[in-house]
Structure 1
């Protein structure tokens, strides 16, 4: 659509309009438009109203399933552009996304355990499956809480930007927990545990990488400091696991 030479920007009356917002149809200047193709760019007011500068889960565009998939795909396979382009939003919304990830893993783990037990001892009733579901959820919550607290402690010491950013970034950075659903699927099928061990290792390394990127692009830490912040949760979890093993051995000793 051709724009008249005398047309003015709706937000800046002193500036000539040279484009049309694809969302509201207002005449706008180039400074008002966000990134994108000429036919799909929207003005700053629409971007703010729709949350287009935020991560996909927090945008007011598309259904929740579409936003969930776009967020998960972005975090897992395009972490740097996803976290560098997104303005940190509501920690509550981020925790809501994390809850969907944890519920997915818990449901898959419960289903696989029920199927495994049913094949050995007969059909398992629903009440018997509920403790499995609750256990997986609690285990995940403890895992995430420990990792997030260790991450923020490191970020705080290294000059990060605050707890809310850590909670927001960590919630999305835990998208790789979804791979633990694969662990639940392959565990009953693996006779020697090698496949499961590899999947667990890959998941933990992926989580480490995601938190490193959050430290860089959400907290603004340099490469070396971001590396330390990303490694801190892993070191804490290894220390806790080692302490648990040692205490178990001590109790078992005569």
Structure 2
């Protein structure tokens, strides 16, 4: 029996990811010192894989990875290799096309509290229209307990809101999940805590169980033109996501 570890559905072009083939005996114990042969089965996309199982996407589209041990072959799920600029393109979600930011917009999003430690480069305007989502790009320069930023999305005139966590250099689709209308989106400096104390060491990829935020450093006023309710449908951070 063989098994391949690493469940991945999407990978950015020219990004590497590790696959691990494992040979098991009938009693489920792991075979040591087995020879594993990895191969890429190209579809509309392709990539390369080393003898150690490190896959690198080289052409946008779909492909699969196979691992062969003692003549037995196992295949991965389909892998979608994404264009380097994939996040700026329209998004096909469950057969529906979403176009993202649709107007150039006006105004500046930086508030009086903005500083060099949190920089948003896109959107560059504060007031704009979007079809279902828009892309936000930037960088959090803080480290340790302040290494995360928080993006809050609230539909105006309601109590409906959601949020996204970001850190380091980031680019993310922000989904306007509560139907058409006006939204206020804010970006905040955040200090996270572990066991009630702000003693996070870097790098930290554990659960975020507690945090405090500062007044928004960036503020966007977004009109969602998509006429549908995506509350339990659109991708998000807090629940299972395709984004």
Aligning the two structures, in what range does the TM-score lie when normalised by the shorter sequence?
A: under 0.3
* Structure (1/2) with the larger helix percentage: 1
